[in-house]
Structure 1
Amino acid sequence: MRKTPLLVFVVLAAVASACSSGGDGNPTPATGSTPATVAQPSSTPKPDCAAGYLAQFTLRQKLAQLLTVGVTGRADAMDVVRSEQVGGIFIGGWTDPSLLGAGQIEQVKQAAKAPLMVTIDEEGGRVSRVRYLIGPAPSARTTAQSSTPEQFYEATLTRGRALKDIGITVNFAPDVDVSAQPDDSVIGDRSFSDDPAVVTRYADAYIRAMREVGVGTVMKHFPGHGSGSGDSHRGAVRTPPLERLRTVDLVPYRDLVGSGAGVMVGHLDVPGLTTPDVPASISPEAMRLLREGTGYGAAPFNGPIFTDDLSGMAAITDRLSIEAAVEAALVAGADNALWISTDAVSAVLDHLEAAVTAGRLPVAQVDASVLRMAAFKGALPRC
């Protein structure tokens, strides 16, 4: 019998609940205003559950499953999915709106060997990519000032259904940054509050509602952008020391780590955590902090870790090429690398294949990330 690496067994245990529930990826949400929780697995699924899923991919296609790339429209999306089998596409402000109409996105999904993530960052307020299709929504800060968490939950149910109806499967929201910055600053009104307890309550309502309608969520920007100095789109961002983040910025992650949401790691320099010129998005120490949880009083995190955009933000592009940045992120422990175009997909995959061959990126680690992404997408078979 073919041996299964230990790391894959560990991931199998973490995703057992997805298998035992038939792989729908959407456990029953919690009720009330307390943080949602995911049912713990009662047993470890058989390795065959994972082996059959992994066997459908070549090494290159496994690596492609760990990429999410921005697309300009139907032709661009269809080409990158058919040719490279990327795991996800990203809908940005530059994407042709017709991709989300007349069944076009379904045609793209059908070109994928495994369920395709169709992602967006639809936070409301000024970060809203499809307001022209589903209408506007207030910013997070305005929401927390004008409605209760349960009112927000109900409003998010409606918005989540609208996103699902146009083909979105994963929303890179909520923003769980804790911030008192002015509304128009880089985080500003994207934050619910400068009180981590308030952020947690509203983020929990958002995650529960989106889960109920079948849209995945991703909390951001770990380990906390809310008090950072600068804008990672324009250059390096330095946060307060890790010691302070533990008591403020990391509180929502600590309380919501079992909610079923993924986590996006920011391009953040964190004193006491990251090393010079290695922001959190490519930092093994930052990934370990999130994955293990012990460094900030949280349970272990077994869900998918996403990077922030690796190609359009100076905090990373001033330091690394896209090929090197994607490798660094995956080697550090991210499960999915995000960037905003399809231009470099083939070059990135060539580079990643070379990294695997050279032993810099272990195959077992690749397989583990593929399985985490599969569980998040509800793609694992019944076992």
Structure 2
Amino acid sequence: MSIGQQRRRPRAAVGIVSSLVVGALLAGLGVGTGVLPTLTGSAGSTGGAAAQRAEPVPPPGPPACDAVVAGLSERDRLAQRLMVGVDAADPAGAAEIVRSWRVGGIFLGGKATALLQDDKLAAVQAATALPVTVAVDDEGGRVQRIGTLDGPMPSARRMAADMTTGQVRVLGFERGRQLRARGVTMNFAPTVDVGRQPAGSVIGDRAFSDDPEVVARYAQAFAEGQREAGVAVVLKHFPGHGHANGDSHAGRVSTPPLDRLRRDDLRPYSALVGPGRPLAGLDTGVMVGHLDVPGLTEGLPASLTPAVYRLLRDEYGFDGVVITDDLGAMKAISNQFSLPRATLAALQAGADVALSSNVTPVGPVLATLEQALAEGTLDAGDNDRAVARILAAKGVCAARS
């Protein structure tokens, strides 16, 4: 669904673009934003001199993404594909990371809240010309980011047990409104994993249910509320962590075979994303997990496996932004790969955005990506298409139809 086709709501998708930012961006590309008069009337009309009436011409829509991408340096294109961890206790440090490296997004982990108070995120947005995605994990229950500031939310399992989908949609909207007021533009929620593991296990009560249809209904309700409030949502963890045999934070884990996932874990994606589905659109992303899937992955976690991204794009028809799970702090990746190497492998495999929660230097990652782009091991055309998708989701430009 194109930007113009989306129903009217506060602009979510990964970042709200201020008129000043858009004006500066378009000016840099040679595109004017003023309202131009047009003259109407005929010089030969009855009554002598033609009556001339100035009518405003609507300002042009966003420029084509191809043009915007072409106006960025190679390094800035690559930086748009990085979402890096920042210390929420250090607002000045977060702004400096964005100013120095012009990364496309930041992730606020941990429990510190200084960056979420007193409009501190405005300085982060002002540190670079393009909008910055500001992402958090705010699912409810054990995984929430602003509970100490705005009150707790129940876990997904409790939502499905105690609330109607209508109530969950209202809850999603209210929480989204609180997140937007604090400067957050993206929520890594809802979880659409299917399962009923013990509540405190890696997924556990983060899953709405062990029934895929219940998961899809409640995830849709929560996501629609968030999107209506202006927050982009990210469904996770593709292709399904709910029946995995361990915790990918601690090491490599395996899921049931792909044919089993199709019958169970993948059904919420089939119901929610893709053409004509209720969560289609630029303000829904998908996160790919670090999972070994028999019949799909061969020796690498899903987040680094090209076949996984082809499954999501081709079979499920998802055309939004695809984000990796955390490449920096989860041992399913970090036990085997350095962060620069894992980031490159994920982007080569088909991820649009590589996430790392670690507050670590950005330079080595960008240097690795620049070298790969120069050598052709990171395809330039694929890179530009990913950047265009990211910028379209931010509302900076219009994607090609």
Cα distance in 1 for residues equivalent to 2:179 and 2:12: 16
Structure 1 380/144 Cα, relative in aligned 2: closer, same or farther at 3 Å?
A: same
Q: Indicate which of 208, 211, 221 corresponds to 1:205.
A: 221
Residue 66 of structure 2 is matched in structure 1 by 51
SS in 1 for 2:180: helix
Q: Indicate which of 79, 89, 94 corresponds to 2:96.
A: 79
Could you tell me how far 1:304 is from its partner in structure 2?
A: 0.6
Cα distance in 2 for residues equivalent to 1:182 and 1:48: 49
Q: Indicate which of 263, 278, 300 corresponds to 1:247.
A: 263
Cα distance in 2 for residues equivalent to 1:325 and 1:194: 32
Residue 280 of structure 1 is matched in structure 2 by 302
SS in 2 for 1:163: helix
2:345 is equivalent to residue 360 of structure 1: no
SS in 2 for 1:264: strand
- Show structure 1 runs of 5+ residues with no match: 1-14, 28-45
Could you tell me the TM-score, scaled by structure 1's length? 0.86
Alignment of 1:138-157 (within 5 A): 138-157=154-173
Q: Indicate which of 18, 28, 37 corresponds to 2:3.
A: 18
Which piece of structure 1 moves more, 193-202 or 99-108? Answer: 99-108
1:180-205 deviation digits (Å, cap 9, x = unpaired)? 10101100000000000000000000
Residue 51 of structure 2 is matched in structure 1 by none
Cα distance in 1 for residues equivalent to 2:170 and 2:65: 36
Contact residue 23 and residue 382 of structure 1 kept, 8 A = no
2:206 is equivalent to residue 190 of structure 1: yes
1:209-244 deviation digits (Å, cap 9, x = unpaired)? 111111000000000000000100101110000000
SS in 1 for 2:64: helix
Residue 16 of structure 2 is matched in structure 1 by none
Which protein has the larger Cα radius of gyration, Structure 1 or Structure 2?
2
Contact residue 267 and residue 279 of structure 1 kept, 8 A = yes
Report runs of 4+ in structure 1 exceeding 3 Å deviation: 19-27
Q: Indicate which of 353, 356, 367 corresponds to 1:336.
A: 353
SS in 1 for 2:106: strand
Structure 1 368/25 Cα, relative in aligned 2: closer, same or farther at 3 Å?
A: farther
Structure 1 47/189 Cα, relative in aligned 2: closer, same or farther at 3 Å?
A: closer
Which piece of structure 1 moves more, 254-263 or 182-191? Answer: 254-263
Cα distance in 1 for residues equivalent to 2:378 and 2:193: 31
Cα distance in 1 for residues equivalent to 2:98 and 2:68: 18
Alignment of 1:9-158 (within 5 A): 17-18=2-3, 49-72=64-87, 73-94=90-111, 96-158=112-174
Could you tell me how far 1:50 is from its partner in structure 2?
A: 1.8
Could you tell me how far 1:23 is from its partner in structure 2?
A: 11
Contact residue 53 and residue 381 of structure 1 kept, 8 A = no
Structure 1 382/375 Cα, relative in aligned 2: closer, same or farther at 3 Å?
A: closer
SS in 2 for 1:306: strand
> What is the CA RMSD across the aligned residues, in angstroms?
2.0
AA in 1 matched with 2:119: G
AA in 1 matched with 2:360: D
Cα distance in 2 for residues equivalent to 1:362 and 1:24: 35
AA in 2 matched with 1:291: R
Q: Indicate which of 192, 209, 214 corresponds to 1:176.
A: 192
Structure 1 104/322 Cα, relative in aligned 2: closer, same or farther at 3 Å?
A: same
The count of aligned residue pairs is 343
SS in 2 for 1:269: coil
Q: Which structure shows the higher helix fraction?
A: 1
Could you tell me how far 1:98 is from its partner in structure 2?
A: 1.4
Contact residue 80 and residue 102 of structure 2 kept, 8 A = yes
Residue 312 of structure 1 is matched in structure 2 by 329
Could you tell me how far 1:79 is from its partner in structure 2?
A: 1.3
Residue 290 of structure 1 is matched in structure 2 by 312
Cα distance in 1 for residues equivalent to 2:292 and 2:399: 41
- Show structure 2 runs of 5+ residues with no match: 14-60
Could you tell me how far 1:56 is from its partner in structure 2?
A: 3.5
Residue 27 of structure 2 is matched in structure 1 by none
Alignment of 1:211-226 (within 5 A): 211-226=227-242
2:265 is equivalent to residue 236 of structure 1: no
